[in-house]
Each structure stands twice: as structure tokens, then as C-alpha cells.
Structure 1
Amino acid sequence: MEIPELVETLDREGRLLAAAAEEADTDAKVATCPGWQVRDLVRHTGMVHRWATSFVAEGHASYHPDGGLPDLDGDELLSWFREGHRRLVDTLAGATPDVQCWSFLPAPSPLAFWARRQAHETTVHRVDAESALGPQRSAVAAQFAVDGIDELLRGFHGRTRSKVRTQEPRVLRVRATDVPDTVWTLRLSQEPPVCEREERGTADCELTGPVDELYLSLWNRLPFPGLTGDASTAEVWREKSGITWS
């Protein structure tokens, strides 16, 4: 996806997140993140937005820590979130394409990385915020969901730090039923996963369904929409694929 599309998505998703959080109230429990209330979700996402903004706006060439979580709640917290989200959107929209700064996943440029990462970060957490209101949620666009699965399988879990490993080799396939020719083959072993964007060989387990449901289930926000084969292979993903803040 192009940078302007990603920034537009980030803009929309952040506004939806804030609206859902306001409607639910910051005391509400976040169904998709056990143990969290809406205030925890808003504090976390707002902190990440400010952290991401700092790299692009200030040109940090190496990792630097986040600014911590604010001691805010209620309307003050939501105002703080909206302010930081707006600054992130404006910073990404106004940055020059060749801006140089630190990033941590493969991308055509640092700007492309941060636009993509923050669009997906905010979308997943928007779904979290909406879960505090009930099972209904706003849709995730199909091509954006495809991009997000790519980022998760080939980006995050293409790194040496991925914990998705098995003692014996296994193959997990992910197939979107609503986007033609959209298949990922994930090869699991004692080494980091290897992901191919194609159907190759046989799979021990196959996950199927609409691509937006696959996207959210791979981020452990929904049950797998469809599963055939060895369910224990899918459980490896459930148990070991979580991306945590550190």
C-alpha cells in the first residue's frame, strides 16, 4: 500500500478508536485484551503514537525509549490521545519521502515503515476499543488486512526474536477465501519461521476465512474463522505469536 493510503487509514482508525473509547468509558473492560480496561488501551496507544512521532519528527537514527504512560483518565486522557494521534498523522503526512530515522522491520523507506506500522497498530487497537462496547466492530478493508498479515507473518515473525517455533518441522497455511490467490505458507521449526506468499507443498494445518477475520485472528483478537488439519499447529501460533511491548 502507498504511504498516503496508510496515513489516511491511520487517521480514520485513530478517530474511531477515540470515539469507541469515549462511548464505552475508560472504566470498561476490553474484551479482546483480558486484564485491560479502556484507559489502559488508550494510554498505551497514545504513548506508542508519541513514540513513533518522535522518530520521524526528530530524525532519531537509533532506538530510543518511549515517554511512559500518562497519569490521566477520563476526558483528559481522551484529549491527550486525540492530540498525539493528530500530531502523528500530521507528521507522517508532512514528512519528506526521504526522511531518515530508525525503524525495525523491512520497508521501502523509514517513512513507509512508520506509516504502515502505525496504521496497523491503531487498527488492531481500534478493534480492541470497540470490543468494550460489544461484539460488533467496524470493518477492516480487505487489501489493508492482506498487508497486515504480510507485516505480521513476514515482518514480525521473520525476525530472529520470533518465538513461534516447533521441535519438529510443521507447516501452517493461511488462506483468504474472499481475495483470490491470497495464500501464505509458514514453515515452522526450531529456527525462526519462514513465510512464503504462495501455496507450496502440503500443510499440517490450514487457517481459512475472510481476510479481515484472518488478520484479527492472527493478531489473537478473534477465533480462527476456519481450521482444518492438526489443531495443535494452530495452538503453537496462539501460544507463541504474541507481540509484546518492550
Structure 2
Amino acid sequence: MDSGRLLGILADEVRRLRVLAGGDLTAPVPTCPGWTVGNLVAHVARGFRTVVGKEAEPPDTTAVTALDQAYAALSAAFADRPDRFWIRRMAQEAAIHRFDAEVALGTPLTPFPEDFAADAIGEMLDVFLHRETRTWPEDYAPDLTEWGTHWLRVADWRVDVHPTGVDVTPIESLDADASVLGRPGAVLLWLYNRGEDVQVSGDPERIAQVRRLLTTAMNVV
């Protein structure tokens, strides 16, 4: 997916989150235990500021204002130097947390664009499984066992687990030991431990092992 399309989705998701931030900021977020909607909005704003190197939170600002200021800085940075990795990462971050805010406030859930969700599945598997486990395998050692020729299918991706890390490649066959399939948006939410509207089949331990690896990665990053 090209940067222009991702920037458009990022803008749409921030716009939706901004509207949601005008609701009850004290509402608890079931998908992020211990957080309120206010915490969620602050987290997104902080992520935007971190990308542009402005980590200090502006004093005496509302959640909406903090989000506006952080997004303005992020947009300016991307206009000056488009960085597809961070555009893609921030679009996905905004989309997932917009979903969290909708759940918390009981508003209708906005589906992810299917092309974006399909692209985000690959990004999620690459960033949180492949790169993290290959770079810091010691942090994931309990769940980095040797699968040999066994593998898990997640949407259109093959996941192989080894003691040195996880390999993620496009599938070339259908003989997986286990699989997680469904519409792209449903699979993406499953990867983020936010939904079970997927078709799961095969070896449950391999599926559980990958879920543990993802959970560890998301708590570390």
C-alpha cells in the first residue's frame, strides 16, 4: 500500500478519534485494561510526538488539543520527509486505538478498509513477530521452540517458529498445521488480541504459542 493511501487513512482515523475524544474521557477501555478513553487519546498523541522527536507533553492541554498538536507535528514531518514505515505504523496505531475508543464508548464500530487491513496484517506480523524475535530472541526464548517443517497460516502468510526467531513469508501451499482465517479486519483484530471473529483450525498449541509471542512483543515495543 502506498504512502498516499496510508496518509489518507491516518487522517481519517485521527479525525474519528478526535470526535470520540469529545465524549466521556473517563470511560474505561475494555480492550486496554486499566486505561480510560483519556489515557488512550494521550497514548496516541504521545506516539505521534515520539515519532517526530517531541516527547514532552504540552502543559495544560485537553486531550483533543494534545491530539491535534501532535498530529499537526506528525503531518508536517511526513510532508517534509515521507517515511513509509512510520506512516504505516502510525496509521495502524491510530486505527486500532480508534476501535478501542468506539468499544469503550459503545458507539458503532467503524470497519477498517479491507486493503488497509490486509496490508496491516503483513505489517503486524513483520514488525511484531519477525523483526522483534529475530533482533531480541532472548526476550522470547520460552516460546521460540523448533517447529521444523510445521507452520501456521495467518491469512495469506506463513509463520515458522525457530529458536532464533520467527520467519514470516507469503504462503505457497495450503498444508499448514494450523490456520487463522477470516476477513482482513477480523484477522487484524485477532492479531491485536481484540477479537475472535475468525476461523481457527488445526493445532491449538501452535496458535496459542504465536499469540503469546505477539503479546510479549506488544508489551515490549
* TM bucket, shorter chain: 0.7 to 0.9
State how 1:208-227 maps to structure 2 within 5 Å.
208-223=181-196, 225-227=198-200
Distance in structure 1 (CA, Å) of the matches to 2:76 and 2:67: 14
Cα RMSD after superposing both structures: 2.3
2:151 equivalent in structure 1 = 171
* Structure 2 letter corresponding to 1:15: R
Letter in 1 for 2:55: G
2:163 is paired with a residue of what secondary structure? coil
Letter in 1 for 2:154: V
Q: Deviations over 1:33-88 (max 9, x none)?
A: 1121112111111011111123xxxxxxxxxxx6255676xx71221112211331
The residue identity in structure 2 corresponding to 1:133 is: L
Residues 1:67 and 1:127: Cα distance change in structure 2 (over 3 Å): same
TM-score, length of structure 2 as denominator length: 0.85
Pick one of 94, 101, 105 that aligns with 1:129. 101
Are 1:120 and 2:105 matched, yes or no? no
CA contact (8 A) 1:217 1:223 kept: yes
Q: Aligned AA for 1:240?
A: L
Matched residue SS, 2:63: helix
- Check the 8 A contact 1:166/1:190 in 2, yes or no: yes
Amino acid at match of 1:52: V
Secondary structure of 2:175's aligned partner: coil
User: Is 1:95 aligned with 2:95?
Assistant: no
Aligned runs of 1:180-195 on 2, under 5 Å? 183-195=156-168
CA change 1:237–1:153 in 2 (3 A) is same
Change (3 A) 1:34 1:71: farther
Alpha-carbon distance in structure 2 between the residues aligned to 1:208 and 1:81: 34
Q: Which amino acid aligns with 1:67?
A: E
Q: Deviations over 1:146-190 (max 9, x none)?
A: 111111112332122363834341411112xxxxxxx11101122
Partner residue in 2 for 1:57? none
Structure-2 residue corresponding to 1:76: 62
1:22 & 1:96 partners in 2: Cα distance? 31
User: Is 2:128–2:214's contact at 8 Å kept on the other side of the alignment?
Assistant: no
1:195 is aligned with what amino acid? V
Instruction: Go from structure 1 to structure 2 and tell me whether the alpha carbon gap of 1:241 and 1:82 turns closer, same or farther (over 3 Å shift).
Output: same
Count of residues in correspondence between the two structures: 211
Question: Amino acid of the residue matched to residue 206 of structure 2?
Answer: T
Which AA in structure 2 matches 1:30?
V
Task: Give the equivalent residue in structure 1 for 2:52.
Answer: 53
Query: Helix, strand or coil for the counterpart of 1:48?
Result: helix
Distance 2:122 2:12 in 1: 21
TM-score, normalised to structure 1, is: 0.77
Q: Which amino acid aligns with 1:84?
A: A
Counterparts of 1:209 and 1:42, CA distance in 2: 29
What is the CA-CA distance between 1:18 and the residue it aligns to? 1.8
